[in-house]
A and B are shown apart, each in its own frame.
Chain A
Amino acid sequence: MLLVIVKKELKRVFTDKRLVFSSFVLPALSIFLLYSLMGNMIGNMSNEIDEHIALVTIVNSPESFKDYIELYIDQIDRLKKEQGADFNDFQLEARYIDMTENEITNIKNSETGDLVKLGKTDVVIIFDQSFDKSVEGYETIQHPNVNTFYNPGEEYSSSAISRIEYQLLTGYQNFLLEKRFDGLSTLSAFTVNIENQNNIIAKEGQAAGLGMSFMMPMLLNIMLFAGAMGIGIDVIAGEKERGTMATLLLTPVDRKTIAFGKVLSLGIVAVISATCTFGAIIASLPNASEMLAGGTEVSIDSFGFAIGDYLMLLTVIIMQVGIFVGLICLISVIAKSVKEAGTYISPIYMVVMISAFGTIFTTQDVQMYKFMIPIMGNVFAIKEILTFDLSLVEFGVTVGMSAVIIGVLLKLITMAFNNERTMFNT
């Protein structure tokens, strides 16, 4: 019986051109266009970044580094003349200042404040005061250290830091080693950020701005809800309004079965709709990777998931879909008309959006109780799975809580189906 109902509901949805267009094609298409467009725009922006001349403040620079920077700038200028428009190497403008040990310690310990005093700068490089001496006395003294600071919320700054760390400082290291050993460059003469885990100049919220890959769980949730919303209202409130629901209630099929059939088919529809939208995101990745992952190439296998992770992800998503669909069904059953259902659902849609957005900015460890919050808990769980942080207990709590909520919703929906006041607007 359940199967008969589910089959009919799915047939109803998938043979209706209007529904198919508005629930599957349109959202997928608009996401694809939007992302490709935004992706391209951001892509252009990062070309701009390449042309930008980075302002680098160098504290207590050893003479050898000044020499090296000079050499580098000369070389870059030469390349620029030779290559013309093709030129896209890293350009910088260096500013040298000196600081006492105390001032440096203050900066290392403070979050942002003291760096601001340095004025407008994209990256700060701080050398240990006795850097030159330590490098020279490499045989007896510990390697000296270089600290770098940047602002991950700022495109120029974060693009400059990687160039500095991977290109400039490595180059400088080789330069020193070459001087020392005549070409033996495999050893190290100093270390970068060895004691300075926290070399970010910005606050966390700002940092998250770039880590757009965190948006995935949020987008997924909103898509799942939006996909189910339109069709859910149509297949339940719409059927009530058109008088076709009563025909179903006259059959000897259990009301529970009818209710569950509706919920199940709507769940399937939601997943398919979300898959379409997800497909659109994947399809737009070549254009949108700049935006979604801050420039790093993204593809599905770059996540490095194991089967277990996929299963957890799938379970949590299905649970979330269950809650969404349950809510949508319940409201559609209680509402007297399609219009009324729409009115009631909007605030819930808002709650879903807020829950989804709310999780973006939490980067600390998620406390256990947060997994018990309806809807939001699942978003947290999805996020934690993506970052390999979800423990089995947390997973259990999320799934258990969801199951309880779905159970309650199903019970309420069945009650509503049995209630003549809701079914016949009496």
Chain B
Amino acid sequence: MIKVSNFTKVYKLSKKQMTEQKVTSKIKKAADKVSFNAKEGEIFGLLGPNGAGKTTILRSIATLLKPTEGTIEVMGHDVVKEPKEVRRRIGFLTNEIKLDKHFTPKYTFKFFGKLYGVSDKIIDERREKLFNYFDIKSFEDKKISELSTGMTQKLAIAVSLVHDPEIIIFDEPTNGLDIITARAVTNYLEELKSQGKLIIVSTHIMTVAEKLCDSVAIIIDGKKVAEGTISEIINEYKGKDLEHAFFNIYEKHVKEV
């Protein structure tokens, strides 16, 4: 479903960014020859510490950034050559991408539905289903600015699913949510998986990954250092659990450098 080959992303840094990040180099290699495959019907995790390059990879899959080198294919469509085909097939959600707080959930849902070319009838059907599932129904005519953080997050998830995408990409899906809302979200992801969709999530919380993901790629400092199912990783790196295995990988990688 998603094929990332030799993906490299280099950011050019402005003077301000250079001082902020305390570096002297004018460029930052946020992803370095990363390759992996993710198949339908699974939840794929990108794991790594802060600044590893997870968000960079996910944004590039979502066509918001262009690879400096390498290619990314989504269901056979290249992200650079056919970005629209790719966008049609994915739902993308991150904390930095927000909804206009001025509108109501109902209007927002309808607006994006239309932009994705969904018919009015189907928009209404999906809204019923998703708003009920995420308990947004009773707030649907309020302004988004009046909703709580968790509620807004749930609405954002619902909106990203308005076109019933084949692939769902979540950057830090449970960040900032209470455990009840987080559970609702992960449950929904499980359900989407059972419908045969591919879900890609990024997280730096290993316990979340262990519970949620089928297979993972571990990214450290822009490089992929391990890939496999959860049990494969735990076995290969001799960990009690995923977190333990991750520390082993991290130590090995840091020593190598």
Contact = CB atoms under 8 A, between A and B. Distances in A.
A251 B112 contact: yes
B116 A251 contact: yes
B223 interface: no
A22 to B, nearest CB: 15
A420 interface: yes
Nearest to A242: B98
Contacts of B106: none
A247 B112 contact: yes
Interface string A83-105: 00000000000000000000000
Contacts of B96: 243, 246
A244 B114 CA distance: 17
Interface string A398-426: 00000000000000000000001101101
Interface centre among A5, A249, A250 (most CB of B within 10 A): A250
A123 B97 CA distance: 72
Interface string B91-121: 0100011111111000100011011110000
Given A243-B97, A250-B92, A12 B102 contact: yes
**Most B CB atoms within 10 A — which of A15, A16, A243, A424?**
A243
B64 A246 contact: yes
A254 interface: yes
B100 A251 contact: no
Contact of A12 (B11, B103, B115): B103
A5 B96 CA distance: 22
With most chain B CB atoms within 10 A of its CB, the pick from A12, A243, A251, A253 is A251
A4 interface: yes
Contacts of B99: 244, 247
Interface residues of A, number: 26
Contacts of B205: none
A250 B102 contact: no
Interface residues on B, range: 20 to 34
A338 to B, nearest CB: 15
Contact of A250 (B11, B64, B65, B85): B64
A8 B112 CA distance: 10
Nearest to A243: B98
A300 interface: no
Given A246-B64, A252-B117, A4 B111 contact: yes
A275 to B, nearest CB: 24
Contacts of B115: 1, 4-5, 248, 251-253
B220 to A, nearest CB: 22
Given A246-B97, A252-B84, A252-B117, A8 B111 contact: yes
Interface string B192-204: 0000000000000
Contacts of B84: 252, 254
Interface centre among B62, B99, B107, B114, by most chain A C-beta atoms within 10 angstroms, is B114
A239 interface: yes
Given A239-B100, A246-B64, A251-B116, 19 more contacts: A1-B114, A4-B111, A5-B115, A11-B107, A12-B100, A12-B102, A12-B103, A242-B100, A243-B96, A244-B99, A244-B100, A247-B97, A247-B159, A250-B62, A250-B87, A254-B84, A420-B65, A423-B64, A426-B65
B224 interface: no
Nearest to B92: A250
Contacts of B107: 11
B3 interface: no
B253 interface: no
Interface string A1-27: 100110010011001100000000000
Contacts of A243: 96-98
Of the candidates A5, A239, A253, the one having the most CB atoms from chain B within 10 angstroms of its own CB is A253
A249 B62 CA distance: 10
A11 B100 CA distance: 12
Contacts of A16: 102
Contacts of A11: 103, 107
Contacts of B11: 426
30 contacts: A4-B111, A4-B114, A11-B107, A239-B100, A242-B100, A242-B101, A243-B97, A244-B98, A247-B98, A247-B112, A247-B159, A249-B64, A250-B63, A250-B64, A250-B87, A251-B87, A251-B115, A251-B116, A252-B84, A252-B85, A252-B87, A252-B115, A252-B116, A252-B117, A420-B64, A421-B12, A424-B59, A424-B64, A426-B12, A426-B65
B154 interface: no
A13 to B, nearest CB: 10
Most buried by A among B62, B85, B111: B111
Nearest to A426: B11
A226 B101 CA distance: 26
Contacts of B66: 420
B97 A250 contact: yes
Contacts of B116: 251-252
Contacts of B112: 247, 251
A147 B185 CA distance: 92
Q: Report which residue of B65, B97, B117 has the largest number of chain A beta carbons within 10 angstroms of its beta carbon.
A: B97
B175 to A, nearest CB: 15
Contacts of A424: 59, 64-65
B87 to A, nearest CB: 4
A421 B102 CA distance: 27
Contacts of A420: 64-66
Nearest to A19: B102
A423 B159 CA distance: 21
Contacts of B102: 12, 15-16
A1 B115 CA distance: 6
Contacts of B101: 242
Interface in A232-282: 239, 242-244, 246-254
A181 B66 CA distance: 97
B165 to A, nearest CB: 10
Contacts of A8: 111
Interface string A209-246: 00000000000000000000000000000010011101
A4 B92 CA distance: 21
B33 interface: no
B238 interface: no
A12 B101 CA distance: 10
